[in-house]
Chains A and B, each alone.
Chain A
Amino acid sequence: MRIAARIPTIAAFIAVPFAASAQNWSDQPVDPAAEAVTAVIAATYEEDGRHFTEDDTPTFKVAEDGTLDWPSFSGFRRYHAECHVCHGPDGEGSTYAPKIKNSAVNMGYYDFYDVVVNGRKVGNSVMPHFGDNPNVMCYLDDIYTYLLARGVEAIPRGRPGKKVKKSTTFVEDEDACMG
């Protein structure tokens, strides 16, 4: 929640153009080995169960036995409540919205955050703004890291099988955020 609390002020000032346009069934592919991709996903340190990259952006962690970090599992749940009616199961896209698992990787944390908070329009392809929706905002880092993991296929489609136990910090942050 440290990052989440800090970002909105930054996001308000950043307006980065996007390379990925809203196309369905035909989205920018992701190469998990590419250097740019590694930079966005590689976990270097952990705080209270959440993992971060060298650039202090949140990321996922899959242990050798396939156990997923709790926040990314939480992202799986919230994604399938708030996002999947447009972006499809497992971030795979639908007939009318892009394959967001790829978008997350290609956009990186700050651009992703900005679009979720503020929304955007490309003709009649419209991403709504979720900035005032606690069901999204309280779990935005979770949803982002879940989609990163899907984008590089670090976890398969469907419900993640094994996950780390929810940390007490996560519970406290969740309660404080959801009110």
Chain B
Amino acid sequence: MKRFLLLSAGLTVCAGMALANDDLVTQMEDSSQWAIQTGDYKNQRYSKLDQINKDTVGDLQVAWTFSTGVLRGHEGSPLVVNDVMYVHTPFPNIVYALDLKNEGKIIWKYEPKQDPDVIPVMCCDTVNRGVAYADGKIFLHQADTKVVALDANDGSVVWEVQNGDPAIGETNTATVLPVKDKVIVGISGGEFGVRGSVTAYNIADGSLAWRAYSMGPDSDILVDPDNTTHLGQPVGADSGMNTWEGDQWKIGGGTTWGWYSADLEENLMYYGTGNPSTWNPAQRPGDNRWSMTIMARDIDTGVAKWFYQMTPHDEWDYDGINEMILSEQEVDGQMRKLLTHFDRNGLAYTMDRVSGELLVADKFDPAVNWTTGVDMDPNSDTYGRPAVVAQYSTEQNGEDVNSTGICPAALGTKDQQPASYDPDLGLFLVPTNHVCMDYEPFRVSYTAGQPYVGATLAMYPAPDSHGGMGNFIAWDNVKGEIVWSNPEQFSVWSGSLTTKGGITFYGTLEGYLKAVDTATGEELYKFKTPSGIIGNVMTYESDGKQYVGILSGVGGWAGIGLAAGLTNPNDGLGAVGGYAALSDYTALGGQLTVFALPN
């Protein structure tokens, strides 16, 4: 299998297809475009546009709006390529191409036919984090895991390929990464016992280039036992099986539904893997490698260069899928190629992205209590491992015991909503959750295509704090420190955007688009859109004018608990209803709002 994969990859390169993506690289470098969901391959979500800036943002107005026609959670953002805007929707995953030179007229619309049976197999609403562009094609990864390449000009199908099987719980919510001659895709279904994988298809025709599973035999996880490293040491043979009991790895989770980044110089792509299945840790003894892992893989072959497992033997559902933001910064007087990752587990990691060396691991919310911190001593037996606090260990407390007061909750100090980076200030701007939980694991049995959870949990705002369920923070990734923190009433479930204008945008679950001073956090502008925001802010320029766009449409993970409000069962009767319900602030929606300065 592996030999065939390498061979086919080699052939593709020989055919000269590696050049196919120069188009996307050019588009990404042009700040008047928004050519990829993540802003660029580094996932910085930073724009050099500065017409809308600290001094002018207060005058921002709505320029135009567009209804998507779908009332579900709207994650991701539109793209802008060559004066055409590509807007996607949640299930049924419609794609619209809007002509920005002609008042947003619909050039084409694509609506796939999908079996609605996929809907309930998706954890947590039917979100989709957007389309991607490369080589004159628009790539849509549907809920039912079909990957479709559309002709960007007319919306006709160029090729399509089925990546997974919804009948066994395999679904998709993520965007895809077009890089070099490949389009790299992930999979969801960690709560259905899916074995996670990342798959590369050839952009030219959709043929399979390689697939790397998160756990299993070396030939499945694409490692070189002698040269793939974990914290500087070779992973050795069978690393994806020898920390599992029996065949549990076959339904081991480690799904791959986050945002991917890439470093073309190093020829590496980066992503994180999700929680091991089930949520009952007693049923899967061992470290459960390589769930909860930051992965660096060769773009052409998929073979891993290095791994870092952040949360061995997860006991809290702290998926490691959040984005890896790449930056070049000085550390101890030396310029380093860094990777910064804000994990669900409440720790922010700064790593050398070439070697996989761990440089910083610190809490980015002071409420985090399940660990006292990561062992940073390379000579220690527990190097790189978080020290687990016994009181909050659902493994140590055991099955059928309710562990209380664990921070963060399963949705993490931060979920997928991507952070942004200001290269001028060296600051990361991070949307976060400020929610804690009670967690009781119990026995669960596996049936293909059925939920495979095995724990019950209750979530509530972090106690002894400001009472809200979120913060928007600025983070120094070299020092491992919060620079400023703005409390928010609800979790911040929107991806932020930072610009050269000295400002950072993000959305809130009540529906506000906010702009703050990147250096200080001071609020400079807010506008209430028609529905709660779980989408990501983007910007582009057309005819010399800068625009900022955001999708509204409440839902997603946030739509589960926050709709009716969260309560703290430990507070007793008096507190019931004491916490704000999102339904008091906003209703379902599906709208794009585009802002600009007045003429």
> Which residues does A use to contact B, with CB under 8 Å?
24-25, 76-82, 84-86, 88-90, 92-96, 99, 119, 121, 123-128, 130, 132-136, 156-159, 178-179
Contacts and interface: CB of A to CB of B under 8 A. Distances in A.
A105 B354 CA distance: 59
A81 B456 CA distance: 5
Contacts of A130: 450
B458 A178 contact: no
A99 B119 CA distance: 18
B560 A178 contact: no
A135 B569 contact: no
B316 to A, nearest CB: 15
Given A25-B587, A82-B451, A133-B451, A76 B191 contact: no
B199 to A, nearest CB: 25
Nearest to B191: A85
A76 B447 contact: no
A96 B451 contact: no
Contacts of B170: none
Contacts of A134: 445, 447
Given A77-B440, A89-B566, 9 more contacts: A25-B588, A93-B564, A95-B72, A95-B555, A96-B126, A127-B120, A128-B121, A158-B567, A158-B568
A156 B458 CA distance: 13
5 contacts: A94-B125, A124-B92, A157-B576, A159-B458, A178-B443
B451 A81 contact: yes
A86 B302 CA distance: 35
Given A81-B456, A124-B119, A158-B568, A133 B563 contact: no
Contacts of A121: 116
Contacts of B457: 80
A128 B447 contact: no
Contacts of A94: 125, 559-561, 563-564
Interface string B575-598: 010000001000110000000000
Contacts, number: 124
Most buried by B among A92, A127, A136: A92
Given A82-B453, A124-B116, A159 B559 contact: no
B123 to A, nearest CB: 6
A126 B92 CA distance: 13
Contacts of B458: 80, 89, 158-159
Interface string B116-134: 1101110111100000000
Contacts of A157: 567, 569, 576
B235 to A, nearest CB: 33
Nearest to A159: B569
Of the four ranges (under 10, 10 to 19, 20 to 34, 35 or more), the interface on chain B belongs to 35 or more
Interface of B: 72-73, 91-92, 116-117, 119-121, 123-126, 191, 279, 402, 438, 440, 442-445, 447, 450-459, 554-555, 559-561, 563-569, 573, 576, 583, 587-588
Most buried by B among A79, A86, A132: A86
Contacts of A86: 120, 560
Contact of A88 (B440, B561, B573): B561
Given A77-B456, A81-B451, A135-B450, A126 B560 contact: no
Contacts of B566: 89
B322 to A, nearest CB: 19
Nearest to B566: A89
Nearest to B571: A158
Contacts of B73: 95-96
Given A89-B566, A135-B445, A95 B120 contact: no
Contacts of B567: 89-90, 157-158
Contacts of A179: 445
Given A77-B442, A85-B124, A126-B116, A132 B559 contact: no
A134 B454 CA distance: 12
B447 to A, nearest CB: 5
Contacts of A95: 72-73, 125, 554-555, 559-560, 563, 588
Contacts of B560: 84-86, 88-89, 94-95
Contacts of A89: 458-459, 560-561, 564, 566-567
A150 B459 CA distance: 18
A130 B564 CA distance: 25
A44 B279 CA distance: 38
B563 A126 contact: no
B385 to A, nearest CB: 28
Contacts of A82: 451, 453
Nearest to A77: B456
A81 B279 CA distance: 9
Nearest to A91: B564
A85 B569 contact: no
B399 to A, nearest CB: 11
Given A81-B454, A156-B576, A179-B445, A96 B440 contact: no
A135 B373 CA distance: 35
B451 to A, nearest CB: 5
Nearest to A80: B456
A92 B451 contact: no
B560 to A, nearest CB: 5
Nearest to B450: A133
